[in-house]
Structure 1
Amino acid sequence: MTRRTTRRALLGTAALALLLTGCGIRPTQVPVDGGPAPSRLPCAVNGEGGPQAQPSSLPVRIYLVCASQLVAVDRTADTEAPPKSPPGTGLPVARALVAELQKEPTQAEREAGFQTYVRSPLTISVGRAGDPDGTYRLSRQPEALAPEALAQLVCTLAESRAAADEGGVRLGGPGGYAPALYDCAPTTKSHPQTPLPTRATPPPGPPATP
């Protein structure tokens, strides 16, 4: 390439830069910011890695928090450890699920981004006299729990054999407050930090005549 050709090329490059600047276009090599990057948490547990199933164990599904959402996790729970419950109730399953929610996530679950907001000690029992059928009483008021913890409890119990006949789960606390029927709505899973939707609990019916 001759010296004259090189000079023409440099002049052409400078003219192009001036043209772009005059049109309001500033040449840059910095990539445009397209907003925050999506979460890199996999929110999925790969491999076995869990405890070996025992004769008294039961496959269960619980909800943990990952990337600010509720995500289902499959585990194996022991249903013989809780004390015996009244026949015809889902109390053994409910107790096993509550116990699983209070356990710290396994190493594989932590690496996948899972965490739990349900803190021990927390126990669950059947409703007291006068409560509607299918009521469970927690050892703490549901409203006193962290919103994420209550969302984990409600969605886990509502999608198990401990669910109420009309769907959702009916929960109360240790005090004299009436239980509420909580629903696991899609917004509960996507935004567990928001208040949970409830349905009105019907008043107890008149006592049966002998």
Structure 2
Amino acid sequence: MLGVVGVLAGLLAGCGIRATQVPTDFGPAPSMVPCELSVTDLATQATPSGIPVEVFLLCSGALVRVNRSVQVTEGADETQRRDVVAQSLLDALAGDPSDAEDEAGYRTAVPTGLTVTGPRPADPVDTLRLSTPPDALPQYALAQIVCTFADSAAAGDNGSVVLGSTSADTLRRYDCTAEVQSNPGSGTPPSTEVGVS
């Protein structure tokens, strides 16, 4: 009996996957590195028409830039262009990440249905007003919006953005700092109140 058990143990110990001399080609191994998109994935994201822009998605607890494009009507003046770009950026943030981005761990916290308008007559020229008050948005969503707008032509491309609500008069200038980008859930992006004349 003990001899049989020993033979079975020897056979089981030899089980496993053996190397093969037959060439196989199943493509590259899937990347286990989060937040990394292959050159092929990046090329697939490229859109043949529209203005190239960047938005910030969430990945591994940080904000990461991804490429998008927006459509702007020919002949639109600067104010109209800014409003269209701002809404397009907001829509891109609220949209689902691509399949490749999803597999790499990209996410968004920005809710769908948000709208944005430009400044009222007394507002600073680079003001953007959201349909939901900024302080009512989830921290991650606000960080995504602040950094996306602050890094775009919609808000002046100076690292900050003046945000308010369509239902309130108060405005705040939010900064997209390195801390916000690396740890967007740590708190509300730093901001200062902006006077409205």
Bin the TM-score by the shorter chain.
0.7 to 0.9
2:122 maps to 1:127:
no
Judge conservation of contact 1:164–1:170 (CA < 8 Å) in 2: no
Which residue is equivalent to 2:86?
A: 94
Pairing partner for 1:168 from 139, 147, 160? 160
TM-score normalised per structure 1: 0.70
Which residue is equivalent to 2:48?
A: 53
Highest Rg: 1 or 2?
1
**SS at the partner of 2:44?**
coil
**1:33-79 alpha-carbon deviations (Å, 9 max, x no partner):** xxxxxxx642122212226412xx11110000000100111122323
Q: How does 1:167-186 map to 2 (within 5 A)?
A: 167-186=159-178
Aligned-residue offset at 1:164:
3.8
Judge conservation of contact 2:54–2:68 (CA < 8 Å) in 1: yes
Which residue is equivalent to 2:180?
A: 188
CA–CA distance in 2 between the matches of 1:91 and 1:161?
A: 10
Judge conservation of contact 1:59–1:75 (CA < 8 Å) in 2: yes
Which residue is equivalent to 2:57?
A: 64
Pairing partner for 2:95 from 93, 97, 103? 103
RMSD: 2.2
Unmatched 5+ stretches in structure 2: 1-31
Aligned-residue offset at 1:131:
1.8
CA–CA distance in 1 between the matches of 2:182 and 2:78?
A: 35
Name the count of aligned residue pairs: 161
Unmatched 5+ stretches in structure 1: 1-39, 205-210
